[in-house]
Amino acid sequence: MIYLDDNMPFPDVRLTSTEGLLAIGGELSTERLLSAYRQGIFPWFEEEEPVLWWCPDPRFVLFPSKLKVSKSMKKVLKSEAFKITYNTAFDDVIIACSKVERADQESTWITFSMIKAYSKLHELGYAKSVEVWLDDQLVGGLYGIDLGNGVFCGESMFSTVSNASKAGFISFVQNGNYRLIDCQVYTNHLESLGAEDIDREVFLSYIN
């Protein structure tokens, strides 16, 4: 396992563990985070842990042309019950995502330091958010990193009412101009929307 200090570059991603863990440590600076995403690496760790950097193989992704929208979701979107906006409430979205309870985690991985780092990336135009509103209340959303090369790296989403985050995600994919959405690791939710595993080398060819 590679232990990083604040100035060390990332090791070759082929040195990951079986689970996809590449390195431990280092700071969550703007430069470090952008360097990570441009190499297919992302941070994922819980409170009280050092920063853990991942690059799993296979990689879970969504090709926009393969997006699956169920008949029920088409009705939801057609009804226009939700108002969907982009980059109007980034901080509110990431804070809401940090409060989501997840069955496989004891604590949030979106720590204060993560919120601060990604908010800075948003100010610089790299981090994007999608907001879903119902009666002027924020009820769902997602955020991630736009690499500027047709790849969007999704980080997290939340929903306080049924179908809110799904509606936001579908709208974002349909209205965006992306070749690939990086979903990082498998979830049933995203598989139902058309996401799939691909070889890490194939994924890296899209971001390089």
Regarding whether 176 and 77 lie in a shared domain, the answer is yes
Regarding whether 182 and 103 lie in a shared domain, the answer is yes
Regarding whether 83 and 39 lie in a shared domain, the answer is no
Regarding whether 157 and 71 lie in a shared domain, the answer is yes
Regarding whether 64 and 108 lie in a shared domain, the answer is yes
d(CA 126, CA 31): 12
Domain carrying residue 135: 59-207
Q: Which residue has the tokens 């804070």?
A: 95
Determine the pLDDT at residue 105: 47
Regarding whether 172 and 92 lie in a shared domain, the answer is yes
Regarding whether 139 and 69 lie in a shared domain, the answer is yes
Taking only the tens of pLDDT, the chain with its 208 residues reads 799 998 899 999 999 999 999 999 999 999 999 999 999 999 999 877 899 999 999 999 999 999 999 999 999 999 999 999 999 999 999 999 998 865 554 445 688 889 999 999 999 999 999 999 999 999 999 999 999 999 999 999 999 999 999 999 999 999 999 999 999 999 999 999 999 999 999 999 999 8
Contacts for 48 with CB less than 8 Å, ≥ 6 apart: 107
Give the residue among 2, 76, 19 at the shortest CA–CA distance from 11: 2
d(CA 153, CA 40): 9
The conformation of residue 15, written as its DSSP 8-state character, comes to: G
Instruction: Compute the C-alpha angle 87/111/166, nearest 5°.
Output: 45
**Full DSSP string of 147-162:** -SSSEEEEEEEEESST
User: 21 near 92, Cβ under 8 Å?
Assistant: no
Give the residue among 85, 66, 101, 99 at the shortest CA–CA distance from 168: 85
CB atoms within 10 A of CB 205: 11
Pick from 10, 35, 54: which residue ends a domain?
Answer: 54
Q: Say which CATH number the domain at 16 has.
A: 3.30.70.3550
d(CA 186, CA 24): 22
Regarding whether 85 and 41 lie in a shared domain, the answer is no
d(CA 93, CA 139): 9
The number of distinct structural domains making up the chain is: 2
What end-to-end distance do the CA atoms of the chain give, in Å? Answer: 25
